[in-house]
Amino acid sequence: MGISNKTNLIIIASGKPKIWDKFPDVGPVKASEVYTGTFHRLSKAYAEQFADNYLILSPKYGFLRPDDIVAKTYDVRFTMKGVGEDTIQLDELKEQWKQLQINPSEPIPMLGGKKFRGLLMSITDGKQPFSFPLEGATGIGIMQQELKQAVATNVPLNCAK
């Protein structure tokens, strides 16, 4: 039996486009179906292929499991400094992380831009190792291309380089 290329957990970014943009009357929806943007969809496909589980990091709700219910649309973003007055606050994110009981020695991949590095370090007080497999990609288009290629070839990003 070969070595599995799956990790236990991947964190993916939520994204601005949501199901309510196309279907305003759909009502509450599972987190796995809420975010409809290209980057999120590619990240989700990657996470489903290469991880046992994934979490969606939402600037409104924090860490969402795919089956968590999101009641309605929102338009909130993390900033380069992390949280803002409209986002979920750092103390709540820290509490959510604690409740998740993630192995503190397990490196967790985050599919997202550089603004997430500082935020995740703040949430975990620098005690959780994270990897950023899309780091170095020069823009969203390249990130999307790398995700597409990894899924198509069944080669995880950290192994492809």
pTM over 0.75? The answer is: yes
User: In this structure, what are the phi and psi dihedrals at residue 31, rounded to the nearest 5 degrees?
Assistant: -55, -35
pLDDT, tens only, 33-42: 999 999 999 9
Query: What average pLDDT does this structure show over 133-139?
Result: 89
pLDDT, tens only, 6-28: 568 999 999 999 999 999 999 99
CA-atom Rg of the chain in angstroms: 15
Instruction: Return the closest-CA partner of residue 7 out of 108, 150, 138.
Output: 108
pLDDT value, residue 6? 55
By the 8 A CB rule, do 57 and 63 touch? yes
* Backbone φ/ψ region at 116: left (φ over 0), alpha (ψ -120 to 50), beta: alpha
* Tokens read off for 51: 């991880």
- State the DSSP H helix or E strand holding residue 148, giving kind and residue range, or none if neither: helix 140-153
Identify which of 44-48, 111-115, 133-137 has the greatest average pLDDT.
44-48
- CA atoms of 79 and 109, how far apart (whole Å): 20
pLDDT value, residue 38? 96
pLDDT, tens only, 80-94: 778 888 899 999 999
CA torsion angle 123 127 133 138 (round to 10): 60
pLDDT value, residue 79? 76
Question: Where residue 5 falls among pLDDT bands split at 50, 70, 90?
Answer: low
pLDDT value, residue 2? 38
Sign of CA dihedral 66, 136, 154, 159: negative
Whether residue 3 has pLDDT greater than 50: no
Q: How many residues in total does the chain contain?
A: 161
By the 8 A CB rule, do 4 and 30 touch? no
pLDDT value, residue 81? 74
